[in-house]
Chains A and B, each alone.
Chain A
Amino acid sequence: MRSMIWKKTGWAAAIAAWTLMGSARPAEELTIEKVGALGRIPIAVEGYSGEAAQVLRFDLEIAGFRYVDRSQAQYLLAGKSVNRVEGALTDLVSGARLFSKAYTGATLRVQAHALADDVVQAVTGRPGIARTRIAFRVTRNGVSEIYVADYDGHNPIQITRDGTVTAAPCWAPGQNKLLYVTYRFGNADILLHDLNTGRRAFVARYSGSNISPAASPDGRRVAMILSKSGSPDLYVANLDGSGLRQLTQTPGVEACPTWSPDGRWIAYSTRLGGRRVLAKVPVSGGVPKRIPTSGVLNPTEADWSPDGRWIAFTSQMGGFEICVVPAGGGEARILVSGEDPVWAPNSRTLIYVRRAGGRRQLSLLDVFTKERKDVARSLGDCSQPTWAR
């Protein structure tokens, strides 16, 4: 009986998903391999209360699950969260018990995140993101500072006290370090801040503006936009700023660098033939190549997915739209209104900024199911997110 109902809801979900994706755009680009994953995965969650229940719901919904009754569910997560979080996950279709776990240490909140990650891993075969961290910029009365927080915006910690404009934070992968721009010393300078010690060092302090730091995926190098040669150009250096090399040399504006996951290319915003485009240049030096983004205009703020397959970016056509395009270029797909998208380590969730009533708000988007959740609402005007890898 249960499997009959699942078969019906399963087909309905699949058909709905195909319809929603639209006939104009090939839906197979963004499918994931497991059954039932074209739409949300129905899960019944029983026995949790308080903060742990809220955390589980947030984590599972943004991961692409839909909360349903047991009778409609494909999976059952049952447990409790009184003194510690415990949970058992059952595949209701096959009857198999996938795991049964209890968690200790840290807080109930972190334990609930760990349980959500274990559910995601067991169902999708991929690691969850519930215990990852983000950094971003908070602006109040013209002063902006950098904050670090959990991916859902909880436990925010202010890590700069510069009392001026700080901007463009970027995690150095594999390290507890953040690159960012600060005007604390009279100019737009790029610093590297060690979160373990609080010590920071100048990475770029040249004349003109030193902006838009982007750490390489191996954490050893940094791409930056420097104007010291007379125009904002793309440069690359070691993470400490030594070994500086210039990669573009044009009188126009280069902006917003992002690395390919293999560390061999840097994509960025530029102008070609008077039009704003995305381009990429080999890190070893060479001729830039355009990345076509058909169907949308003025692409900028690009971010290359960790699995290498996609580039997310902002398109400016009146307002701002979050778009994705295959990394080699092609048809761009508009996902949602907003700007400055950044990929999670799972190459599936995006964090981005939406402007609501003159204020900027961070939001998470599951690219596959379009589930959306605002984060860090209480801090004020939040923007320029970066996701720790």
Chain B
Amino acid sequence: MKRLTLAGFLAGAVVLMSCSTGCRHPEKGITPIPERAMPRVSEPKPKPPAQPVKPARPQPPKPTPPTPGPGGVAPGQKASGSELKTTPSGVELPSPEMFEGMVMDTNYFKAQTVHFDFDSSFVKYSERPKVEEVAKALKATPEAKLLIDGHCDERGTEEYNRALGERRALSLREHLIKLGISPDRIRTRSWGEDRPADPRHNEEAWAKNRRGEFILLLPPGAKPPSPPAGSAEK
């Protein structure tokens, strides 16, 4: 009798133990769910990049023979006396350090904002006089540099627009280089569709938003030159 009771007790204990450790027997198994840690907000100062910002010479992909760059400069050759090379993509961009500390003037070239056709980065002939005015002003102010902001209307997808805005800024830069401005004076930036000039959702607004804006950069303390020809009255 005692043995039976003991066996029964042991059997019961085994069943209880195996169930409480989550056995796959179709009795109720208890599944504990782990807590998930909260994601942390970004700290203010990021670590510098692992790759140095001064680019090593970019390695072109293997089989494709290079095509002549814009402005007819053969690839691998230096463009207009600067260290920046012309590649099959275009003219290399200068490193960010060359623009450090410069002061932005977003009003100076407001009248020279160039507008683009839908899904295009081609600088229309009707817009080129504005680019010539920018080139003239830069030649007259040798200490000045330039930032070109490219923008899109909302009718493209977001990342495609971010790339297209950059291509628009680069097209304008290429025209300025052709007009004799050194490539290391010009940097580019794209805002995609994020900074519309006109927030409305119609053709008139979209036409205004597809644009490239020229931002004058001056060393700190430099006096702004007199406004370029064609600018509106201040």
Give residues in A with beta carbon < 8 Å to B.
Answer: 86, 97, 99-106, 110-111, 114, 139, 142, 144, 148, 157-162, 165, 167-168, 176, 181, 183, 185, 187-188, 191, 193-209, 211-212, 225, 227-233, 237-238, 240-256, 269, 276, 281, 285-287, 300-301, 314, 316, 320, 339-340, 358, 383-384
Contacts and interface: CB of A to CB of B under 8 A. Distances in A.
A243 B59 CA distance: 11
Interface stretch (B7-15, B81-89, B133-141, B225-233): B81-89
A208 B25 CA distance: 61
B165 to A, nearest CB: 8
B34 A97 contact: no
Interface in B8-29: 26-29
Contacts of B60: 246, 249
A183 B67 CA distance: 33
A340 B161 CA distance: 12
Interface majority SS (helix, strand, loop, mixed), chain B: loop
Contacts of B67: 251
B126 to A, nearest CB: 22
Interface in B166-203: 166-167, 170, 174, 187-192, 194-195, 201
30 contacts: A99-B26, A100-B29, A101-B28, A101-B29, A101-B31, A104-B30, A105-B34, A106-B34, A114-B33, A148-B39, A165-B194, A191-B42, A191-B46, A202-B47, A207-B95, A209-B163, A209-B189, A211-B166, A225-B159, A227-B93, A230-B69, A238-B50, A241-B51, A244-B55, A244-B56, A253-B121, A286-B61, A340-B157, A383-B158, A384-B159
Contacts of A105: 32-35
Given A206-B55, A246-B58, A157 B170 contact: no
B166 A100 contact: no
Most chain A CB within a 10 A radius of its CB, from B48, B51, B195: B51
Nearest to A96: B26
A230 B89 contact: yes
Contact of B159 (A97, A168, A203, A240): A168
B115 interface: no
Contacts of B32: 103-105
B64 interface: yes
Nearest to B70: A251
Contact of A162 (B42, B90, B174): B42
Query: Interface size class for chain B?
Result: 35 or more
Contacts of B30: 101-104
Given A99-B26, A158-B41, A256-B160, A250 B88 contact: yes
Per CB-CB distance, the 10 closest pairs between chain A and chain B, nearest first, are: A230-B90, A198-B40, A201-B47, A207-B93, A231-B89, A195-B39, A255-B163, A202-B49, A240-B50, A242-B50
Interface of B: 26-43, 46-51, 53, 55-56, 58-64, 66-67, 69-70, 86-96, 119, 121, 155-160, 162-167, 170, 174, 187-192, 194-195, 201
A314 B92 contact: no
A147 B159 CA distance: 18
Contacts of A204: 49, 51
Contacts of A254: 163
Contact of B59 (A104, A185, A246, A358): A246
Contacts of A86: 28
Contacts of A211: 159, 162-163, 166, 190
Contacts of A188: 162, 189-190
Contacts of B59: 245-246
Contacts of B95: 206-207
A247 B46 contact: no
Contacts of B35: 105-106
Contact of B96 (A103, A181, A187, A316): A187
A105 B36 CA distance: 11
Given A105-B32, A250-B89, A253-B121, A161 B162 contact: no
A103 B174 CA distance: 63
Given A253-B167, A358-B201, A206 B93 contact: yes
A254 B89 CA distance: 11
Contacts of A276: 119
Contacts of B49: 201-205, 240-241
Contact of A103 (B26, B33, B61, B165): B33
A250 B67 CA distance: 9
Contacts of B156: 300, 316
Contact of A229 (B29, B41, B87): B87
Nearest to B63: A287
Contacts of B191: 165, 183
Nearest to A180: B42
Contacts of A246: 58-61
Nearest to B30: A102
Nearest to A193: B42
Contacts of A104: 30-33
Given A111-B33, A165-B194, A230-B91, A201 B48 contact: yes
A232 B86 CA distance: 14
A198 B26 contact: no
B43 A199 contact: yes
Contacts of B121: 253
